Amino acid sequence: MLSGIPLVLLLAAAVAFIVVATAKFDLHAFLTLLVAAYGTALIAGLNPTKAASLVTDGFGSTLGYIGIVILAGTIIGTVLEKSGAAIVIAETILGWVGEEYTTEVMAVTGGVVSIPVFCDSGFVILSGLNRSLAERSSLSLSTLAVALAGGLYVTHVFVPPTPGPIAAAAILGADVGLVMLVGILVSAPIIALASVWAERVASRFHIDPSPDMTVGEIKEEYGTLPSPAASFAPLVVPIVLIAVGSVAAFPSAENPAFVHGALQNWLLFVGDPAVALLIGAFVGFAIVPTYTDEVTSEWVTEGLTNAAVILAVTGAGGAFGNVLGALPLKEFVSSTFGGLGIGLLAAFVIAAALKTTLGSSTVAILTTSSLIAPLLGPLGLASQWGSVFAVLAIGAGAMTVSHANDSYFWIITEFSDMEAATAYQAWTAATAVLGVASIVWILVLHSVVPTVL
């Protein structure tokens, strides 16, 4: 079996294959990751039978933990979109803070909506409202477009149950509740930074909002809209349940700090991410004014269909990670880098390189998680907090940077009438700033949070 430098070169070749296959030859990430997993195992000298079992076991074990969570999360996102609840959330936040803070409102709205909804879907859902608010507040559409896109982007890479960070938590063995709580702590100032960038930089590029519909007409298109409380409920309920479950298990299920006995068991049950998200999905059904089989069947089917690709890629990423875990990489990394304290920076750099090359934040998160998982110990990240911050460092890298190979880049340009040259200055540069600021903030929190808690 390969070891030492030859094994590291093989790993570099596997990453290069993933990049070239997906970016140049447009091979789907699912197939690319599986081919990389099988190829790495065989070339490294593993027994073919063992190689086959490592891939299937890694695929199955990853989806066994995370599958229900991703499926339930996409159902919640579909309900928020189809019911018009996403529009209500935006309008409610606007009412709370006032129209004079429209830029901040759109950034915060994006951050809230993107927790269960993919950032590109969230931008499409809210683009009409974005135009209307830009017209109402006499702002350039580029200002609100970048604010909204930034808010969506931040929680997309940091806060479960967005599939990327929740899959990374599964692969790295991180506590989902802690990832969620610290992810929100990481996201808050970065969302604020996105709104500042939008006001100071993106505003220099004037784009006429040219709204197709007024806010009233947007609401009318969705018919009878749910109340603000009902609109927020599918988001808030699972987040609260997962957070409560994490508190109930802290510092460990065997030695709980706050609750005991049957109560603890029930809190751990409803706080399980799969259970919490499933409850959130049924809460979503309850917010729809007219409860029909379209909601319980057609919308659910659409959500499940949307989840299929991310499930496939997540499982393939888990398979690749399982293969890497069976190779003697730990010894080499431990002897070479063990005392340098570069674990979080290594995770950030790898994810940033993959994001910049591949375009997909989710693929960058999953691939980097698979690479980092067997190396958590040597990189000094094997503790409870180490794995949590590893997930967040990977998320920071996965937003650095968004450019022409990223579908989200083109959604932003197309839905905000932004020329590509403008988007590079207003959006791509923003993602570089947000990514670097994120990893700096994460490093600060990593030095403080574990000592406090």
As a three-state string, the secondary structure of the chain is: CCCHHHHHHHHHHHHHHHHHHHHCCCCCHHHHHHHHHHHHHHHCCCCHHHHHHHHHHHHHHHHHHHHHHHHHHHHHHHHHHHHCHHHHHHHHHHHHHCHHHHHHHHHHHHHHHCCCCCHHHHHHHHHHHHHHHHHHHCCCHHHHHHHHHHHHHHHHHHCCCCHHHHHHHHHHCCCHHHHHHHHHHHHHHHHHHHHHHHHHCHHHCCCCCCCCCCHHHHHHHCCCCCCHHHHHHHHHHHHHHHHHHHHHCCCCCCCCCCCCHHHHHHHHHHCCHHHHHHHHHHHHHHHCCCCCHHHHHHHHHHHHHHHHHHHHHHHHHHHHHHHHHCCCHHHHHHHHHCCCCCHHHHHHHHHHHHHHHHCCHHHHHHHHHHHHHHHCCCCCCCCHHHHHHHHHHHHHHCCCCCCCCCHHHHHHHHHCCCCHHHHHHHHHHHHHHHHHHHHHHHHHHHHHHHHHC
Dist. CA 71–CA 62, nearest whole Å: 14
Q: Compute the C-alpha angle 273/274/275, nearest 5°.
A: 95
pLDDT at 95: 80
Sequence-separated (6 or more) residues with CB below 8 Å from residue 344: 381, 389, 390, 393, 439, 442, 443, 446
pLDDT at 423: 87
Q: What is the pLDDT of residues 151-202, one digit of tens each?
A: 999 999 999 878 789 889 988 989 888 899 999 999 999 999 999 999 999 9
192 burial (CB, 10 Å; 0-12 / 13-18 / 19+) is middle
pLDDT at 257: 47
Dist. CA 438–CA 41, nearest whole Å: 34
The list of the chain residues with pLDDT below 70 reads 23, 65, 211-223, 249-261, 289-295, 329-341, 405, 453
Dist. CA 312–CA 308, nearest whole Å: 6
Q: What is the rounded radius of gyration, in angstroms, for the C-alpha atoms of the chain?
A: 22
| Residue recorded with tokens 């993107």 | 114
pLDDT at 321: 76
Tokens linked to 437: 């600021």
Q: Which residue, 130, 120, 190, is CA-closest to 159?
A: 190
pLDDT at 372: 87
Dist. CA 53–CA 322, nearest whole Å: 10
| Residue recorded with tokens 């990374």 | 168
Dist. CA 108–CA 200, nearest whole Å: 17
Q: What is the pLDDT of residues 309-347, one digit of tens each?
A: 778 877 887 788 788 778 876 666 555 555 455 788 988
pTM over 0.85: no
Dist. CA 246–CA 256, nearest whole Å: 10
CA 414 to chain centre: 23
pLDDT at 253: 47
Strands of 391-450, DSSP E: none
Dist. CA 28–CA 22, nearest whole Å: 6
